[in-house]
Amino acid sequence: MRRRAGRWATPFGTWVAQLGVTTLVRQLHANGQPITNKAVYSWISGVGRPRMDTAMKLLGLSGGALTMEHILSQRDQAQGGGAHDTGQTPKNQTR
């Protein structure tokens, strides 16, 4: 399955892509967060969001690269924050 570029072009998506999903999952496991690769992909796609305790761990793991806003706004940006954010045209518009 091909990555949708817009979902990964957000601050959170970029950080996860640079670190790597598998590496992030390992680091979260080491910090007491039993997260799966599937969960991380659901956050990036906007289908899910990390729980608050997991989001706090993500902030710590990012070393200041992320803010809570970056993490929590991923869902909105991935699911239609606008055509300019996702690289997609809304259904009722044409390119």
Residues 22-77: pLDDT tens digits? 999 999 999 999 999 999 999 999 999 999 999 999 999 999 999 999 999 999 99
- Tokens found for residue 79: 């699911």
Write down the pTM of the prediction: 0.78
Fill in the DSSP letter of residue 80: T
Rounded-to-integer distance, Cα 79 and Cα 95, Å: 18
pLDDT band with cut points at 50, 70 and 90 for residue 80: confident
Neighbours of 58 (CB within 10 A): 26
pLDDT at 39: 98
The per-residue pLDDT for 40 is 98
pLDDT reported for residue 88: 38
Looking at residue 91, its pLDDT comes to: 41
- How many of the other CB atoms lie within 10 Å of CB of 64? 7
Q: How confident is the model at residue 79 (pLDDT cuts 50, 70, 90)?
A: confident
Nearest CA to 13 among 43, 39, 33, 35? 43
pLDDT(81) > 70: no
